Amino acid sequence: MQKRISTIPFTDTPEQHEKLLAVIESLKNEKGAVMAALHKAQDIYGYLPIEVQKEIARGLDVSLEEVYGVSTFYSQFSLTPKGKYNISICLGTACYVKGADKVLDRLVAKLGIQPEECTPDGVFSLTACRCIGACGLAPVLTVNEDVYGRLVPEDVDKILAKYTA
């Protein structure tokens, strides 16, 4: 799936920025530095917005496109921030045949965001994931550490309400 790009304004703390610069400094002149820098930057910020990727490109003296190309190739990199509550819906085989796509449609409609996006208020983010090993509960979704199973689309409203209350 094509990576989604964040439209939410980037916020950076001096501590985070300092950490990022230190990471870049430690990787200068190393082979494969882009990959390592992206990993560590994602640890610091939770995702890899353009501001962070530019800093990496400038620091490692590579083109921004090279950094972006790597960040969109590997699935572990995210270009969108996670919300306070990250909703992860399983689209693995069992969940899918049990109607996970309908649940996802409902989530998209209610939240107004696509998978790999975050709501503008930063409360919810949505991830479509692969099998999480809870096929007996299919279709299943998690909100941070909470698991919800045997879902029908209507359940979505109740679940969201719990976290917006």
Partner 1 sequence: MDMVNIKINGMSYEVAAGSTILEAAREAGIDIPTLCFLKDVNQIGACRMCMVEVKGAKSLVAACVYPVNEGMEVFTNTPKVQKSRKMTLELLLSVHDRKCLSCKRSGTCELQKLCNDMGIDSENRYEGAVPAGKKDYSTLYLERDNAKCILCRRCVAACQQQHVAVIGANNRGFDTEIGCAFEMPLSEVACVSCGQCIVACPTGALTEKDNTQQVIDAINDPEKVVVVQTAPAVRAALGEEFGMPIGTNVEGKMVAALRRLGFDKVYDTDFGADMTIMEEANEFIDRVKNGGKLPIITSCSPGWVKFCEHYFPSLTENLSTCKSPQQMTGALIKTWFAEREGIDPNNIVSVSVMPCVAKKFEINRDDEDAAGVPDVDISITTRELARMIKMAQLNFARLPEEDFDPVMGVSTGAATIFGATGGVLEAALRTAADVLEGVDHDNIEYKEIRGTKGFKEAVYKVAGMDVKVAVVSGLNNANELLKKIESGEADYHIVEVMCCPGGCVNGGGQPIQPSTVRSFTDIKALRAKALYDEDAAKTLRKSHLNPVVKECYEWMGGEPGCHKAHELLHTSYVKRDRF
Can residue 5 be called a binding residue for partner 1 (CB under 8 A)?
yes
Can residue 53 be called a binding residue for partner 1 (CB under 8 A)?
yes
Beta bridge partners of 142: 88, 147
- Asked if 85 contacts 144 with a C-beta cutoff of 8 angstroms, the reply is yes
**Rounded Cα–Cα distance for residues 112 and 127 (Å):** 13
Q: Shortest approach of partner 1 to residue 98 CB, angstroms?
A: 25
Can residue 7 be called a binding residue for partner 1 (CB under 8 A)?
no
- Residue placing its CB nearer to partner 1 in the complex, 45 or 68: 68
Q: Shortest approach of partner 1 to residue 63 CB, angstroms?
A: 4
129 is in an annotated binding site: no
Kindly list the distances between the CA atom of residue 72 and the CA atoms of 1, 2, 57, 152, in Å, as whole numbers in the listed order. Answer: 10, 8, 15, 32
- Residue placing its CB nearer to partner 1 in the complex, 13 or 63: 63
Give residue 106's region: left, alpha or beta (phi > 0; psi -120 to 50). alpha
Residues that bind partner 1 (CB under 8 A): 1-3, 5, 50, 53-54, 57-58, 62-69, 72-75
